[in-house]
Amino acid sequence: MPVSLAISAKPSAMHGAAPLPWRASDTPAFEMAGTVMRFSADRPLYAEGDEARCFYKVVSGVVRTCQFLSDGRRQIDAFHLAGDVFGFEAGSTHRLAAEAVTDCTVIACRRRALDTMLGGDGRLNQWFITHALSCMAQVREHALLLGRGSAAQKVAAFLLEMAERGDSANSVELPMGRQDIADYLGLTIETVSRTLSHMEKDGMIRLPSPRKVVLKDRAALRNLNV
Amino acid sequence: MPVSLAISAKPSAMHGAAPLPWRASDTPAFEMAGTVMRFSADRPLYAEGDEARCFYKVVSGVVRTCQFLSDGRRQIDAFHLAGDVFGFEAGSTHRLAAEAVTDCTVIACRRRALDTMLGGDGRLNQWFITHALSCMAQVREHALLLGRGSAAQKVAAFLLEMAERGDSANSVELPMGRQDIADYLGLTIETVSRTLSHMEKDGMIRLPSPRKVVLKDRAALRNLNV
DNA sequence: CGAATACTTGATGAGACTCAAGCGCCGTGG
DNA sequence: CCACGGCGCTTGAGTCTCATCAAGTATTCG
């Protein structure tokens, strides 16, 4: 079931709320053949170490890429929303597992097909190089947050990121649970929960329901930034 | 003073001691014109925000890439040793500052020259894409260490990395001071120092001098790993 | 309605940071 | 040659943040 896979302008990860070095106009208007696949919430798309035959573009829903630590903890590397591309690897295997956060639809694209194209199409090359470098900047941002940020800084950065990636309204619907947030930020669910409660008490946010956050004072959240 | 800039097989950063998805045989045997430059210890090569006209390859000595945080702390992103390439950016400016750790010699290569070549040479494209993805994997590794590792895990990983990147002998000569190590690992100098002392007491390492470390029990160090 | 799941809240403790002092090395100057 | 000062590193004591352990509440779903 080959389907058009327009590679979008949006970078593939949610690593940083920082302004991205990325413009819609930078994106070449190329398309690639792919296969539509559906996954229901919490199903794996692929596991750590699986052969990296495909990379993916999210059509709808949310996907997380993550790795499992020797002590059983899990580090979520990124959340991938509609339009994001993920699963492109340097080596022959996936270094990160990918799992559906919500029910989702993705387009899978054979990597070999891309490899053959990469010799020829200049714009395609440019796009992938820029995409890779762009992702790297985001990973760095995330690394900084993980390594240097306090719990409050982490949660604030996360909320601002989610707001920015959504319709950027003040009301944010979180597609993932507390455990996912904690594993993304390198915290425990208790600390995430406490930090959110504390922010509500301080008037920075409102929590009409666990999954819904209203940003009341973006400036205050931003001021926490690393 | 144009000089040959053979892009080496070694990835450009010291982000993880993990086996790299990278073979010497993968490297295209292309060369590029560059300019030799020398810097003495602690001198900046470029600052955060500088226009990214060039990228660099280390000939000798050590360079660090880092960013400064709003509270005055510094995060070292990577140490670049002889053969490493760094300073290649997605956008038009350097997101990270680069500074000489020791006296060093680098080859600077104009980025524009590369951009024009990227349209044509397939292998060159491949190399850069792979290089970028490879670096990303290392940044991820570093992010994991920063976010999830204990002080002992961080220091152990750092020592193993340094050993692996050097001649891989058990005796490692550290080119940087404690503050650099601390800023690389997201710790304080006191914690780095204490951790090293503790490891010596436990018989994992020996410290003949502050800058010299002898790995006595690599397995024990590795067992600390995240 | 009841059970399971997700989330919140509280009490306690471990690990790393901060502040502060002390050590050792090296270069300078008397 | 030795005294001095500066710098990098080490060590110690107290504090703070976040993880852990443990209930308790809310929400969903059978």
Give me the pLDDT at residue B13, please. 45
pLDDT tier for residue B111 given thresholds of 50, 70 and 90: confident
Per-residue pLDDT averaged across A104-109, rounded?
Answer: 94
Cα diameter, chain A: 57
pTM: 0.89
Compare B128 and A62 and report the one with higher pLDDT.
Answer: A62
The string of pLDDT tens digits covering residues A24-75 is 333 443 456 689 999 999 999 999 999 999 999 999 999 999 999 999 999 9
Interface check A23 vs B, CB under 8 A: no
- Among B73, B122, B142, beta carbon nearest to A143: B142
Nearest Cα of chain B lies from the Cα of A208 at a distance, in angstroms, of 30
- Give pLDDT tens digits for A204-225: 999 999 999 999 999 999 999 8
Chain A CB within 8 Å of residue B134 CB: yes
What mean pLDDT comes out for the span A5-26?
40
- What nucleotides of chain D have any atom within 7 angstroms of a protein Cβ? 8-13, 17-22, 27
- Average pLDDT, stretch B203-223? 97
Nearest Cα of chain B lies from the Cα of A85 at a distance, in angstroms, of: 14
Q: Is A142 helix (H, G, I), strand (E, B) or coil?
A: helix
- With CA atoms as reference, the chain A residue closest to B223 would be A70
Q: Report the alpha-carbon distance of residue A120 to residue B121 in Å, rounded.
A: 9
Confidence of residue A226 (pLDDT cuts 50, 70, 90): confident
Could you tell me the distance in Å between the CA of residue A54 and the C1' of nucleotide C13?
47
pLDDT in tens, A163-194: 999 988 999 999 999 999 999 999 999 999 99
Please report, rounded to whole angstroms, the spatial distance between the CA atom of protein residue B93 and the C1' atom of nucleotide C5.
48
Mean pLDDT, all residues of chain A: 86
Tokens representing residue A3 in the block: 């389907």
Residue B103 clears pLDDT 80, i.e. is over it: yes
Beta-strand pair B85-86/B54-60: antiparallel
Is the model's pLDDT at B33 over the cut of 80? no
User: Residue B211 above 80 pLDDT?
Assistant: yes
Phi, psi of A214 (to 5 degrees): -110, 120
Q: Which runs of consecutive H residues, i.e. helices, occur in B23-101?
A: none
Q: Does A139 touch chain B (CB under 8 A)?
A: yes
Test A126 with B119 for CB contact under 8 angstroms: yes
Please report the residues numbered 144 through 183 in chain B whose beta carbons come closer than 8 angstroms to any beta carbon of chain A: 144, 146-148
Name the residue in chain A with its Cα closest to that of B185. A147
CB-proximal positions of chain C, under 7 Å: 6-11, 15-20
The nucleotide whose C1' lies nearest the CA of A73 is D19
Least confident of B32-36, B50-54, B169-173: B32-36
- For residues B157 and B226, what is the distance between their CA atoms, to the nearest angstrom? 9
- Distance in Å from D9's C1' to B177's CA comes to 9
Query: What string of DSSP letters covers A88-133?
Result: --SSSB-SSEEEESSSEEEEEEEHHHHHHHHHH-HHHHHHHHHHHH
Give the Cα separation of B188 and B194 in Å (integer): 10
Instruction: Inspect the interface and report whether the beta carbons of B148 and A186 lie closer than 8 Å.
Output: yes
Cβ separation A148–B91 shorter than 8 A: no
Instruction: Tell me the C-alpha distance between A14 and B63, whole Å.
Output: 29
The whole-number average pLDDT for the span B116-140 is: 81
Q: How confident is the model at residue A26, as a pLDDT?
A: 38
CB contact under 8 A, A122 and B120: yes
What pLDDT is recorded for position A114? 78
Note the maximum CA span of chain B: 57
Residues in A closer than 8 angstroms to B140, CB to CB, are: 77, 95-96, 139, 143
> What was the pLDDT predicted at B129?
83
